[in-house]
Chains A and B, each alone.
Chain A
Amino acid sequence: MTDTSITHTPDTASIGGAAASGKIMIKLENLGKQYPKEPKPAVDNLTLEIPEGEIVILVGPSGCGKTTTMKMINRIIEPTSGQIILDGEDVTKADPDQLRRKIGYVIQQIGLFPHMTIAQNIATVPKLLGWDAKKIDARIDELLQTVSMAPETYRNRYPKQLSGGQRQRVGVARALSGDPAVMLMDEPFGAIDPITRDRLQNEFLRLQAEVRKTIVFVTHDIDEAIKMGDRIAILQEGSRIAQYDTPEQILTAPANDFVADFIGRGASLKRLNLSRVRDIQLSQWPTVQLGDDHARVLDVLRASDKGFALVLDENRRPRRWVSAPDLQRGGDRPLDEIGLPPEATVEPQATLNDALNELITANYSVAIVVNASGEYQGIVDIDSITEAIRTMRTDARARARIGLDADDSADQAAQVGR
């Protein structure tokens, strides 16, 4: 992509691929939780690696052990077997309070301290860490700004004076206060109305693009998982991993029936949300210049298999769709007075889902792709979208096959080890 003017729009914000470092930040090794008097373990021998700087989503039906798994990382729930390795250090037996101060924690109910001001809430961990007052003060203002809340307005308010969305933001600010490398989030947007939730998710993704924390995020909502995750672990009962992969891969190549069922219908449509117009091969339709005479336009149309030509102005901005019948009916009128206006334009960073939505409602069933300054780039038609889906499938299957091979050899190695 050569166009550097592209900016993230809120509803299409996304995190790039894998983190730059490739370092494993959290490693769960054969982790288990067996409650006394329960026939089956809540978490059964889970092994999971979480790379630095990524959002890893634990998702699964209720009762699958995803929350238990997350809460074992900061040892709110103590594991009964296995190990937790945090940044290369075994913390399974470390002092839990010291450990928790290094891990941001956001729960669904948020759990702000109602008797403390917003500033005092945010200051909790820095105080526990023994920072001096000046540094804490500066940190509070910085964090409030980070979550788009004016410090002078909100510092001295109490939680009950805030809206649900604002409380959630303060919850995130509070979890970030001690600048932890790792954050645990348990359905953090679960109790918020859908519109606010969408906005908060986008804000959070933008924030994460700056801070690049390693985040373990629990949800039961597959759509949220697809939107927020760099990687998704789909969990079955006993916290057994059904599939652990990128959202793209999970949607295009579900590992088994459980995953396919869990994703539900419309996986292909969901998948279109994860690809962008700039990533696919655009179709080229005939174009003419605004000043061209009608004979030239007819030539261009005759030379093409498409029924319409796109009229561009001197800045290559789309002005009009014209067809041969339009030219005949229009007589000598200039090109921008005949035919139809060019509706349904999308920018390269739009998702394929946006493009599909546009082209379905457009007159000629195509979406025109323009860059940020409105210059014509190409066309998305239904063929380019089906082609894109086909490519994704092939790629995903190829990747899955490589992954399976790797798993097989790992399994064999493990069996030999036993």
Chain B
Amino acid sequence: MNDQTFGEFLTEFFDFLSRRYDDLIEVGLEHMALVSVSVLLSTVIGVIVGVTTYRTERPREIALAVTGSFLTIPSFALFILMIPITGIGSPPVIVALTMYGLLPIVRNTITGLREVDQATVESAKGMGMGRGQRLVRIELPMAWPVIVAGVRITTLILVGIATIGAIVDGPGYGTFIFDGLARVGSPAAINLVVSGMLGVIVIAILFDTILAVLGKLTTSRGIR
């Protein structure tokens, strides 16, 4: 790269992009699918964990400690540890990503539910709403903006970590980056790594925008 000017690099990079265009799109879609599934699983599991633990101190602390400890496991290690259980490809990546994505969602679900005004909940109770009705019709809708914020953080984290999944043959832009890593020194290496990185950034922005809009649409005008 030293004997290459930045202009020359750009020309060559755009050339690379146009040659590998189809490939980039396809890998991007795979990356998005992988992250979407994981975020969805994290959200479902995280909200359920949050809803079942937010009322009592002990379970709440345990839930946060456990999901927090998941995040401290190095991703490299976790992906590899999954192989005996799930084999290679997408499954180990999805399981690991789901685990990584839990903490922000569990934490925000608990925070959101605990911040719901108790007078509102009491008036719902006083009007004859049962426990379940209160949760579904009052507490969750009121906590929803906070939960969505958690989902957005999870999504950003998972879009990044998903690249490491390539080490267990997972799909996504990680394959570009690891290919590049394997060819350090050759001109193609930089192209591969940079395109993989840019792809991740584009997906992150895209997802965050979609979630922002979705969050707004699903939040009542009364609490926006």
Once the chains bind, are B220 and A111 in contact (CB under 8 Å)?
Answer: no
Residue of B nearest to A106 (CB): B123
Summarize B's interface: helix, strand, loop or mixed: helix
Beyond A112-B123, A160-B222, 19 additional contacts (C-beta under 8 Å) are: A97-B129, A99-B128, A100-B125, A100-B128, A101-B128, A105-B126, A107-B122, A109-B120, A111-B120, A111-B123, A111-B124, A115-B141, A115-B142, A116-B222, A117-B222, A124-B129, A158-B221, A158-B222, A174-B127
Contact of A114 with B129 in the complex, beta carbons under 8 Å: no
Cβ of B220 and Cβ of A100 under 8 Å apart? Answer: no
For the complex, is A113 an interface residue (Cβ under 8 Å from B)?
yes
B222 lies within 8 A of A111 (CB) = no
The verdict on A124 contacting B127 (CB below 8 Å), with A115-B220, A117-B222, A158-B221 known, is: yes
0/1 string, B110-149, CB within 8 A of A gives 1: 0000000101111111111110010000100110000000
Instruction: Please name 6 pairs of A and B residues whose Cβ atoms are closer than 8 Å in the assembled complex, sorted by A.
Output: A107-B122, A113-B124, A115-B220, A116-B222, A128-B133, A184-B126
Decide yes or no: A107 and B123 within 8 Å by CB, A113-B138, A115-B141 being known contacts.
yes
Give Cα A184–Cα B223 distance, bound, in whole angstroms: 28
A184 to chain B, nearest CB (A): 8
- Residue on A with the closest CB to B145? A115
CB of A6 within 8 Å of the partner chain: no
Chain B residues whose CB sits within 8 angstroms of the CB of A99 once the complex forms = 128
Q: Are B120 and A125 in contact (CB under 8 A)?
A: no
Bound form: Cα–Cα A160–B123 in Å: 17
- Residues of chain B having any CB pair with chain A under 8 Å: 117, 119-130, 133, 138, 141-142, 219-223
0/1 interface trace, chain A 47-77, chain B, CB 8 Å (1 if under) = 0000000000000000000000000001010
Contact assessment for A125 and B127 in the assembled complex, using a CB-CB cutoff below 8 Å: yes
Distance of A125 Cα from B133 Cα, bound (Å) = 12
A76-B125 in contact given A97-B130, A111-B119 (Cβ < 8 Å): yes
The distance in angstroms between the C-alpha atoms of A107 and B221, with both chains bound, is: 24
Is A110 positioned at the interface, with any CB of B under 8 Å from its CB? yes
**Would you give the shortest CB distance from A294 to chain B, in whole angstroms?**
71
Are B129 and A74 closer than 8 Å at their CB atoms?
Answer: no
Residues of A in contact with B, size category: 20 to 34
In the assembled complex, the Cα of A99 lies from the Cα of B125 at a distance in Å of 11
A101 touches B220 (CB 8 A): no
- For A160, list chain B residues within 8 Å (CB): 222-223
Q: Which 7 pairs from chain A and chain B are nearest by CB?
A: A111-B123, A158-B222, A105-B126, A101-B128, A115-B220, A109-B119, A100-B128
Interface residue ranges, A against B (CB under 8 Å): 74, 76, 97-101, 103, 105, 107-117, 124-125, 128, 158-160, 174, 184
Assembly CA distance A173 to B155 (angstroms): 43
User: Which residue of chain A has the shortest Cβ distance to B133 in the bound complex?
Assistant: A128
Most buried by A among B117, B128, B219: B128
Separation in Å of the B219 CB from the closest CB of chain A? 8
Contact A114 B142 (CB under 8 A): yes
Q: Of all chain B residues, which has the CB nearest A175?
A: B127
Tell whether, in the assembled complex, residue B128 and residue A111 are in contact, meaning their CB atoms are under 8 Å apart.
no
> Judging by beta carbons under 8 Å apart, are A105 and B127 in contact?
yes
Residue of chain B at shortest CB distance from A97:
B128
| Complex Cα–Cα for A351 and B117 (A) | 42
Inside 8 A of A74's CB, which chain B residues have their CB? Answer: 126
Chain B contacts of A109 at CB under 8 A? 117, 119-120
The residues of B that contact A174 with a CB separation of less than 8 Å are 127
B113 to chain A, nearest CB (A): 14
Verify B141–A107 contact, CB threshold 8 A.
Answer: no
Q: Contacts A107-B119, A109-B117 known; A115 to B223 CB distance under 8 Å?
A: yes
Q: Smallest distance from the beta carbon of A111 to chain B beta carbons, Å? A: 3
A56 to B13, CA, bound (A): 82
B65 to chain A, nearest CB (A): 29
A98 to B127, CA, bound (A): 9
| Nearest CB of chain A from residue B217's CB, rounded to whole Å | 14
Question: A107-B119, A109-B117, A109-B119 given as contacts; is B126 within 8 A of A114 (CB)?
Answer: no
B222 CB contacts on chain A under 8 angstroms: 114-117, 158-160
Complex Cα gap A101–B127 (Å): 5
